[in-house]
């Protein structure tokens, strides 16, 4: 199934989504000779994928020490806080792989404010990318993972928030989250998220059925504004699709 360049793949369940996503991640990382960057996502949907990638079957297939790990959005809490998105990725995957510290790029939530953390993270992204401006022909990421919130948000781009419209800044602070957990956030904006060979949405569970139907019918939501300069793939399960 495909709409506006978006490929929609309906799979049996969350487990199958995790397996398919793992294969796609490994393929994309393998296509980038040196220093592939992966932009992870938070929330509960990717946990299964992260745990799967940490299993022997996947661990042994990739030169993980060459992969750089970023996060599309972060809750403004300490890295050790159970709410931390990067913290979850560390516990489920990165610490298990023994990932070298130089390849880990968490949002610096020890900064004084979300805006300050956003500025620091933007500088880190620019340093990694090696330029101040994004070039369409030279994507920053091999893969960007995304989730779909029940209000249509993705990353921490909530409906009707200025962050959705931002075109200059790569990263912004978000004082008020539109959904729980109600802690300030730091989020990449749409242009750097689009700078990828592939953007991969993971959407599972019956509770996503209503918002997924809206997204697939083309409603104007942050998640449907999210686009990719490479491929755009939505992996959805039957419970979410209602199929």
R_g of the chain, CA atoms, integer Å: 16
Separation of alpha carbons 121 and 107, rounded Å: 6
Site for ligand 6PG contains 42 (CB under 6 A): yes
Site for ligand 6PG contains 154 (CB under 6 A): yes
Q: Which residue among 155, 171, 193, 194 contacts ligand 6PG (CB under 6 A)?
A: 155
Q: Which residue among 85, 161, 195, 228 contacts ligand 6PG (CB under 6 A)?
A: 85
Site for ligand 6PG contains 73 (CB under 6 A): yes
**Structure-token match 């989730």, residue found:** 147
Q: How far is the CB of 111 from ligand 6PG (least distance, A)?
A: 18
Q: Which residue among 2, 44, 55, 110 contacts ligand 6PG (CB under 6 A)?
A: 44
Neighbours of 158 (CB within 10 A): 21
Q: How far is the CB of 82 from ligand 6PG (least distance, A)?
A: 13
Neighbours of 238 (CB within 10 A): 14
Give the binding-site size for ligand 6PG (rule: CB under 6 A): 15
Site for ligand 6PG contains 184 (CB under 6 A): no
β-bridge mates for residue 73, sequence order: 187
Site for ligand 6PG contains 41 (CB under 6 A): yes
Q: How far is the CB of 10 from ligand 6PG (least distance, A)?
A: 18
Closest CA to 159 of 185, 177, 146, 180: 177
Q: How far is the CB of 3 from ligand 6PG (least distance, A)?
A: 21
Cβ atoms of residues 172 and 229 within 8 Å: no
Closer residue to ligand 6PG, CB minimum distance, 136 or 196: 196
Closer residue to ligand 6PG, CB minimum distance, 140 or 202: 202
- What residue ranges in the chain does DSSP mark as E strands? 2-3, 6-11, 37-40, 68-71, 73-75, 143-147, 171-174, 185-188, 198-203, 231-237
**Structure-token match 């920053």, residue found:** 140
Binding site for ligand 6PG (CB under 6 A): 41-45, 73, 75, 85, 147-149, 153-156
């Amino acid at each position: 199934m495909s709409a506006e360049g978006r490929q929609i793949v309906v799979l049996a369940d969350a487990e199958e989504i995790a397996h398919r996503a793992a294969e796609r991640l490994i393929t994309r990382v393998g296509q980038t000779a040196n220093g592939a960057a992966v932009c992870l996502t938070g929330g509960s949907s990717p946990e299964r994928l992260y745990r799967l990638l940490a299993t022997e079957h996947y661990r042994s297939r990739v030169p993980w020490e060459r992969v750089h790990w970023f996060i599309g959005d972060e809750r403004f809490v300490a890295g050790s806080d159970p709410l931390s998105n990067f913290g979850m990725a560390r516990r489920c995957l990165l610490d298990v792989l023994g990932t070298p510290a130089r390849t880990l790029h968490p949002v610096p939530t020890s900064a004084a404010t979300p805006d300050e953390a956003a500025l620091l993270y933007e500088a880190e992204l620019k340093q990694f990318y090696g330029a101040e401006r994004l070039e369409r022909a030279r994507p920053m990421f091999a893969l960007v993972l995304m989730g779909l919130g029940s209000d249509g948000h993705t990353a921490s781009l909530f409906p009707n928030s200025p962050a959705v419209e931002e075109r200059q800044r790569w990263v912004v602070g978000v004082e008020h989250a539109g959904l729980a957990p109600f802690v300030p956030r730091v989020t990449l904006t749409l242009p750097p998220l689009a700078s990828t060979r592939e953007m991969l949405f993971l959407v599972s569970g019956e509770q996503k059925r209503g918002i997924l139907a809206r997204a697939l019918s083309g409603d104007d939501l942050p998640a449907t504004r999210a686009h990719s300069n490479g491929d755009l793939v939505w992996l959805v399960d039957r419970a979410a699709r209602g199929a």
